[in-house]
């Protein structure tokens, strides 16, 4: 169903679940994860949707126009796949941390916003979730680092603020970091590393 890479780290270390952006693959974010914690486990999954030859995690009708039915379906499938890999490779979902960029952040949000999701931590770079939520869940156990662009050409500022609200309105603990564009640069990487090191 999915192509993936699993690299075992040191004992009692969390597992980074890497979810790439549109056109990326399972190798893209490994250097990012290693820069944050070289000793962590790594599970990096390639999106199984093709858009003009580019890998993605769910379908869309155009830039910023999601196929919400497809996103819901594929979010459930991806989470089930992660559950299976946790059992296969012997890591705890409660010790998992989503690390996503752009399209990968968006599928991670879909999973994080579900109460059934047992992965409670995430580093999301350039996320967008342009939808009013039909229901509110108790996400008080969630700790989320959000990196967003003040002049992002893909994600309008109001959509970044909507992402923040999706989490804060459901009692998640949110740390914001603002960059200029649709990017994952050194400054936000260092801030994400600091956030990660201060996790309880």
Bridging pattern class, strands 41-45 and 4-7: antiparallel
Structure tokens at 181: 């564009």
**CB contact at 8 A, 148 and 179:** yes
Catalytic residue among 44, 105, 166, 182: 182
Per the residue annotation, which of 20, 147, 152, 160 is the catalytic one?
152
Please tell me which residue in 37, 44, 102, 160 is annotated as part of the active site: 102
Cα distance between residue 72 and residue 170, in whole Å: 19
- Residue 106's nearest CA partner among 70, 135, 157 is 70
Strands 143-149 and 121-125: parallel
End-to-end CA distance of the chain: 34
Q: Catalytic annotation on 152?
A: yes
Give catalytic status of residue 102 as yes or no.
yes
> Residues 100, 106: contact at Cβ < 8 Å?
yes
Active site residues: 102, 152, 182
């Amino acid at each position: 169903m999915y192509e993936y890479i699993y690299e075992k780290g040191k004992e009692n270390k969390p597992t980074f679940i890497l979810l790439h952006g549109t056109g990326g693959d399972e190798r893209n974010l490994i250097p990012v994860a290693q820069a944050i914690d070289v000793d962590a486990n790594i599970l990096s999954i390639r999106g199984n949707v093709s858009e003009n030859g580019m890998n993605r995690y769910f379908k869309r009708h155009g830039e910023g126009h999601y196929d919400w039915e497809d996103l819901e379906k594929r979010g459930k499938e991806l989470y089930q796949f992660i559950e299976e890999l946790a059992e296969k490779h012997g890591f705890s979902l409660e010790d998992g941390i989503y690390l996503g960029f752009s399209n990968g952040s968006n599928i991670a949000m879909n999973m994080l916003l579900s109460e059934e999701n047992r992965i409670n931590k995430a580093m999301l770079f350039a996320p967008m979730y342009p939808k009013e939520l039909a229901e509110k869940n108790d996400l008080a156990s969630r700790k989320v680092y959000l990196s967003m662009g003040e002049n992002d050409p893909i994600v309008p500022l109001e959509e970044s603020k909507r992402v923040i609200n999706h989490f804060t309105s459901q009692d998640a603990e949110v740390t914001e970091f603002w960059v200029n564009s649709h990017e994952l640069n050194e400054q936000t990487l260092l801030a994400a590393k600091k956030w990660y090191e201060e996790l309880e």
